[in-house]
Each structure stands twice: as C-alpha cells, then as structure tokens.
C-alpha cells in the first residue's frame, strides 16, 4: 500500500535539503549568456542577469540555498588569483543582484583560487610548485570579507588549506561579520569525479594535480574525523564531505562525530554518469536520483549540494 509505505519511511526529502551550484561568468544585457556545459547536460555557465533569473526560478521552487562559482576570463587570471578579491567580479555582482531581486535563498559562495589563477591551483605557488598554505589562508580571509560585503550568507572554503577556517573566521569577525557562517569543505578527497566541474569552472590545473592538499581516498575514516574535528574547533558552522556516493561511510562517521550540521556534495562526475546512463535508456533518472538523495540523508547529511536541486524540487512538489 503506497500511502502506508510513505507513512513508515525513515528518511524524507524536501526542497530545503538542497543547495544549487551555479557557475557565473561575464556578459549581461545584450550579451546575456547561458552557455551549456558539454560534460554536464542541463548545467550552464550564466551571465549575472541570467543567473539571477535562474535563482528566482529556484527560489520559487523552494530550493534552500545556492552556491556560486566564478568563471574567470583568461585575461583576468594571474599567479595569485587577484580577481577573486575584486568587489565587482561576477560572484559579487550576482550576490548583489540576487539580493536586489528579492531572492530569498541562502547565499553561499565558494572560497578558492583555482578559478582565478593562471596555473589552476588553489592558491599562490612556491618556487617548487607547491601551494603557499599560510599566504593562501590570509588571502582566503580577504576573499571572504569581499563576499560578505556583497551579501553572502555562508562562505565555503574548498581548497583544503591547513587552518583555513581559523583564518576566515578571524577575518570575518575583525571586519564586523560575526554573523556570517562558514561551511568548510573539511573532508575533500583528491577524486577523479571532479572532471566535469573543471570544464564548467574552466579551472583545471595547468600542471600536476591537487593531491598535495586534498585527501587520499586510500586513507581510513579516522583521518577524516581528525580533519572535521580541526575545522569545527576553529569555528566551522557546518562541515562537508566531498564527493558523495563513494564516501557514504565517511559521511556517516563524520555526521555522528561532529556537533554541527554535515553536508555532502553530489559532484559533477556523479551527476554526469547518471545523465549519461539515463540518456542511453539504461536507468530511470528520477528514480536513481531520489534513491541517491535518500542514501545521503540516511548516512547523516543535513543538506546536499547537487546539480539536481531544481529537478528535485519539482519532483518533490
């Protein structure tokens, strides 16, 4: 009996459970852009005005939040990602425009430099090609303040720098933004599932990889718990496990360990695989997505970042 099964379900989904990632780039007015991402069917790079229209649509559907990623023209990239601090860059303009348009969703922003550096790594580099951790942390604090001034509610540092939460919390508090929240990518693995995202954000590393500052998937859960503990201790209001499906065991362990909400990111590769299989008629797309989201909730996720946020809101009514 379907109604009885629904009554007895242990996990439930709501549009408020989802965060919609958006990629924003230059262009607007007569040059408004909505550029398809080839490796992620149904996902686009938006100009600021096109992004605001999409956010208004998602807001009406009841989606809980959005997170912005900047797509930077090559001419604006440099070795330290200085355009990330520009108060009129695409992320900041989208934040301001969304607030002015009355979008009521929680506004989150990605804090990182891979989208802004000409080398594609997550911060300024040393002579040997490694990321300068302490300088990157200082700059992340500055980037967070820029986003807070533009209207961001939640800052989400994604580069896995040591002591990044403490640096960002200190910078926000010193600038008078004590009420802004931090969603830390506390447990982020060096994963092959990120490939389509790097197409969408135009941010692949120009040499090497990011294994030096992202986590090794061969390591056990204890390391993930230590990373989460450190970030919560430094003031993270929420923590994230990324990717999602391959790390349900980690998500479960972290959610049971920490005293703050735990999120997960249903990443680009996970999304693209479902889309590809559905396009070939091999799976029921809606059924697989709903099953996946229930798995995240069952494992302990308070909310999920997913490119299916809009679809889920429509399916859930």
Distance separating alpha carbons of residues 230 and 44, to the nearest angstrom: 35
Average pLDDT value for the chain: 93
pLDDT of residue 208: 65
Distance separating alpha carbons of residues 283 and 276, to the nearest angstrom: 9
> What are 48's two structure tokens?
């600021």
- DSSP string over 100-122: HTT--SEEEEEE-STTTBSS-SS
**Per annotation, catalytic residue among 242, 275, 286, 297:** 242
Longest dimension (CA), the chain: 66
pLDDT band at residue 269 under the 50/70/90 scheme? very high
Least confident of 57-61, 106-110, 156-160, 261-265: 156-160
**Per annotation, catalytic residue among 180, 188, 275, 297:** 188
pLDDT of residue 32: 62
- Tell whether the model's pLDDT for residue 202 goes beyond 80: no
Among the residues of 12-69, which ranges form H helices? 48-61
> What are 210's two structure tokens?
């990011």
pLDDT of residue 234: 97
- Tell whether the model's pLDDT for residue 15 goes beyond 60: yes
- Tell whether the model's pLDDT for residue 29 goes beyond 60: no
User: Has 188 been annotated as catalytic?
Assistant: yes
Q: What is the mean pLDDT of the segment spanning 154-176?
A: 95
Distance separating alpha carbons of residues 122 and 274, to the nearest angstrom: 28
pLDDT band at residue 31 under the 50/70/90 scheme? low
User: Has 38 been annotated as catalytic?
Assistant: no
pLDDT of residue 125: 86
CATH number of 14-316: 3.20.20.70
> What are 117's two structure tokens?
């550096």
pLDDT per position as a tens digit, 124-161: 888 888 888 899 889 999 999 999 999 999 999 988 88
pTM for this structure?
0.94
Degrees (nearest 5) of the Cα angle 43, 49, 121?
Answer: 55
- Tell whether the model's pLDDT for residue 30 goes beyond 60: no
> What are 28's two structure tokens?
């607007």
pLDDT of residue 200: 83
pLDDT of residue 163: 94
Among the residues of the chain, which ranges form H helices? 2-7, 48-61, 90-100, 133-150, 164-174, 195-201, 221-233, 248-257, 268-279, 285-299, 309-316
CA distances from 70 to 52, 142, 151, 284 (A): 14, 16, 15, 32
Distance separating alpha carbons of residues 230 and 165, to the nearest angstrom: 9
pLDDT band at residue 68 under the 50/70/90 scheme? very high
Distance separating alpha carbons of residues 211 and 220, to the nearest angstrom: 16
CA distances from 306 to 7, 127, 142, 172 (A): 26, 37, 27, 27
Which residues have CB under 8 Å from 280's CB, separation 6+?
none
Ranges of each domain in the chain: 14-316
Going by the DSSP 8-state scheme, the letter that residue 189 receives in this structure is B
Residue 301 near residue 263, CB atoms below 8 Å: yes
pLDDT per position as a tens digit, 209-259: 777 778 899 999 999 999 999 999 999 999 999 999 999 999 999 999 999
pLDDT band at residue 24 under the 50/70/90 scheme? very high
pLDDT per position as a tens digit, 78-132: 888 889 899 999 999 999 999 999 999 999 999 988 888 988 788 888 888 888 8
CB atoms within 10 A of CB 281: 7
């Amino acid at each position: 009996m379907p109604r009885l099964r629904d009554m007895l379900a242990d996990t439930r989904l709501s549009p408020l459970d989802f965060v919609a990632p958006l990629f924003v780039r230059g262009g607007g007015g007569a040059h408004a852009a909505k550029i398809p991402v080839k490796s992620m069917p149904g996902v686009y790079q938006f100009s600021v005005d096109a992004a605001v229209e999409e956010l208004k649509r998602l807001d009406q559907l009841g989606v809980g939040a959005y997170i912005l990623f900047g797509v930077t023209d090559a001419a604006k990239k440099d070795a330290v990602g200085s355009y990330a601090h520009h108060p009129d860059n695409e992320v900041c303009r989208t934040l301001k425009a969304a607030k002015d348009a009355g979008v009521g969703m929680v506004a989150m922003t990605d804090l990182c430099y891979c989208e802004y550096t000409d080398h594609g790594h997550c911060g300024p580099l040393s002579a040997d090609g490694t990321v300068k951790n302490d300088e990157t942390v200082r700059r992340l604090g500055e980037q967070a303040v820029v986003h807070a001034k533009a209207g961001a509610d939640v800052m989400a540092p994604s580069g896995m720098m040591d002591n990044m939460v403490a640096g960002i919390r200190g910078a926000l508090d010193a600038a008078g933004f004590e009420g802004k929240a931090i969603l830390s990518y506390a447990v982020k693995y060096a994963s092959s599932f990120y490939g389509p995202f790097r197409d969408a954000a135009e941010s692949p590393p120009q040499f090497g990889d990011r294994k030096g500052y992202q986590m090794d998937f061969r390591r056990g859960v204890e390391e993930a718990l230590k990373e989460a503990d450190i970030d919560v201790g430094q003031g993270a209001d929420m923590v994230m496990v990324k990717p999602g499906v391959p790390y349900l065991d980690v998500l479960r362990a972290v959610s049971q360990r920490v005293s703050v909400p735990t999120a997960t990111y249903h990443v680009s590769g996970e999304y693209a695989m479902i889309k590809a299989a559905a396009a070939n008629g091999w799976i029921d797309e809606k059924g697989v997505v709903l099953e996946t989201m229930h798995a995240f909730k069952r494992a302990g996720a308070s909310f999920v970042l997913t490119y299916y946020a809009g679809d889920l809101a429509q399916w859930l009514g």
